[in-house]
Structure 1
Amino acid sequence: MIEEKFSIGQSFIHGLDPKIRILSAIVLSFSTALCDNLYIAGLYLVISGVLITMAGLKWIEVIKRLKPLFWFLLMIWIILPVTFEGDVIYQYSWLKITSPGVILCCKITVKSFAILLLFTALIATMTIASLGNGLHRIHVPDKMVFLLLMSYRYISVIEEEYKRLLRAAKFRGFVPGTNLHSYKTFAYLAGMLFVRASLRAQRVYQAMLCRGFNQKFHTLDVYPSNRLNSPFLMGTFATSISLVILEMIWV
């Protein structure tokens, strides 16, 4: 199973309805992604940091979750400043670092951190079952919700199946390498994994039908009414609209 470390808590964010959190995350992330002003993007980053604090998350654990993003941004910082056209702020031999490239890197960095922190505070603080329930209540197609829930449930099972296949290949003398034999072996493993996953999916579906599955998932989770749900959603909408207007005025 995928770890749901942040879903356990008694903070203000944890007490909000999943539907409210999903809508708030969508609105704030879209406005952040469309922002083209570095200073406004910094405000979105501050908002995301405030939400992380309101969720009661430990910053050390949050930063650990950001590690993959650091590597992606490192590639951006290596490539864009020397390939983007514009005013040169530093030159060494043929290497030129341009001002527009650096500014673009700053925008990408700030917005990437802001969006990831927003989703960490609002989405990662709920279980996958609560996420599915919230998506269903905002009228996301049932098939998409089923796909999310079943993928979460069986991705670890497929991983174990892959490990068994790879272990069996190694018992027969397979040594991974950068050669044609290794590529063919991994292709065979992928094909066999697909076949086994398909067969398992059929068995799971038949078992679900035997238990009365009628194309609907029913949840036992109860979300008590919270008078802060509506003010929080209206606050996120108002904040997003205000920042969008501020950016338009700024330009």
Structure 2
Amino acid sequence: MSPASQNTATGMIGPVDPRFRIICTIIFAVFVVSAASWQAVVATIVAAAVMVALSLPEWRKTLRRVLAMDGFIFATLLLLPFTYPGDTVFTLWGHAASQQGINQAIMIGLKANAVIFMVMAFLGALGSTDLGRGMMGLYMPTKLTTLLMFTVRYIDVLHHEYLRLRQAMRARAFHLRSNRHSWKMMGYLVGMLLVRAHDRSERIVWAMKCRGFHGHFHFTHLSHPVKADYIFLLVMAVLLAALITLEVLCPPLL
């Protein structure tokens, strides 16, 4: 998601109303999480990948995000076959891996990829301001919208602060190694990042108070949906109906 106020989305999905994109993302995420058959989950991944292609993203950045998420999911699911009860498939160092645990890990990995693809397709290139306007247009809680706006904006600020600290460490000939000194320096890096983040937050609070901020953002009203928005919603409804039919007809994996 872009921290800039301008919508950077291109392709066929870029001009779609943010409210419709948020609604479709939530509905598809709920469907994927509740799905039990692997056919429906795989079909959702394929549909989400097509949506990503239609949004014309920056492929290198998109692949990095997917690989980062998959690396975290893989590390998390690696122990699931050894902790989930069921029929033993193999043993490793005295710990039994169950077939049900392997199936559960596969399903969680597929669902996570399906959700992240859909989020990147519909919300990945959506500007933070447009996202806030869409959430307010759907009458979501003001505090939730404000919190999300701050999160999107200042995660990017903290990332740049981290890059500046890392550059300062490299300028002092620091090289990350697996030794006590490196771990000590990385601890100092995390501590300094927290200190600078706290100082930065205090300056931001005073700057916003000087500009009359009183707890929530004021967004301009979104324009009325046009014909293309309703066509997009109709296509998503047909796709969701097809996925639900596939979920009903196909047996569950577990």
Which TM bucket (shorter chain)? 0.7 to 0.9
Correspondence 1:13 to 2:13: yes
Correspondence 1:36 to 2:10: no
TM-score, normalized by length of structure 2? Answer: 0.75
Helix, strand or coil: the match of 1:96? Answer: strand
Structure 1 residue 240, shift from structure 2 partner: 2.7
Q: Find the aligned partners of 2:235 and 2:2 in 1 and give their Cα distance.
A: 32
Q: Find the aligned partners of 2:217 and 2:93 in 1 and give their Cα distance.
A: 65
Helix, strand or coil: the match of 1:66? Answer: helix
Instruction: Tell me if structure 2 keeps the 8 A contact 1:11–1:54.
Output: yes
Q: Which runs of structure 2 are paired with 1:126-205 in the superposition (5 Å)?
A: 126-157=126-157, 190=194, 193-194=197-198, 196-197=199-200, 199-205=202-208
Change (3 A) 1:193 1:131: closer
Structure 1 residue 41, shift from structure 2 partner: 0.7
- Partner amino acid, structure 2, of 1:17: D
Structure 1 residue 49, shift from structure 2 partner: 1.0
Q: Find the aligned partners of 1:108 and 1:52 in 2 and give their Cα distance.
A: 21
Structure 1 residue 114, shift from structure 2 partner: 0.6
Structure 1 residue 244, shift from structure 2 partner: 3.1
What residue in structure 2 maps to residue 218 of structure 1? Answer: 219
TM-score, normalized by length of structure 1? Answer: 0.75
Aligned residue pair count = 240
Helix, strand or coil: the match of 2:89? Answer: strand
Residue 206 of structure 1 is aligned with which of 192, 209, 223? 209
Q: Find the aligned partners of 1:142 and 1:68 in 2 and give their Cα distance.
A: 31
What residue in structure 1 maps to residue 89 of structure 2? Answer: 89
Q: Find the aligned partners of 1:89 and 1:131 in 2 and give their Cα distance.
A: 46
Q: Find the aligned partners of 2:43 and 2:97 in 1 and give their Cα distance.
A: 27
Structure 1 residue 74, shift from structure 2 partner: 2.0
- Partner amino acid, structure 2, of 1:132: G
Change (3 A) 1:124 1:7: farther
Q: Find the aligned partners of 2:11 and 2:239 in 1 and give their Cα distance.
A: 21
- Partner amino acid, structure 2, of 1:26: I
Q: Find the aligned partners of 2:162 and 2:65 in 1 and give their Cα distance.
A: 25
Change (3 A) 1:137 1:63: same
Superposition RMSD in Å = 3.8
Structure 1 residue 28, shift from structure 2 partner: 0.7
Helix, strand or coil: the match of 1:217? Answer: coil
Helix, strand or coil: the match of 2:101? Answer: helix
- Partner amino acid, structure 2, of 1:62: T
Structure 1 residue 250, shift from structure 2 partner: 3.4
Correspondence 1:110 to 2:113: no
Change (3 A) 1:88 1:16: same
Deviates more, 1:50-59 or 1:123-132: 50-59
Larger Rg: 1
Instruction: Tell me if structure 2 keeps the 8 A contact 1:28–1:236.
Output: no
Deviation digits for residues 108-157 of structure 1, max 9, x if unmatched?
11111110000000001211111111111011122322232234344455
Deviation digits for residues 173-214 of structure 1, max 9, x if unmatched?
xx97767xx9799669746743x34532431232221xx979
- Identity, % of aligned positions: 19
Q: Which runs of structure 2 are paired with 1:222-237 in the superposition (5 Å)?
A: 225-237=225-237
| Unmatched runs of 5 consecutive residues or more in structure 2 | 173-179
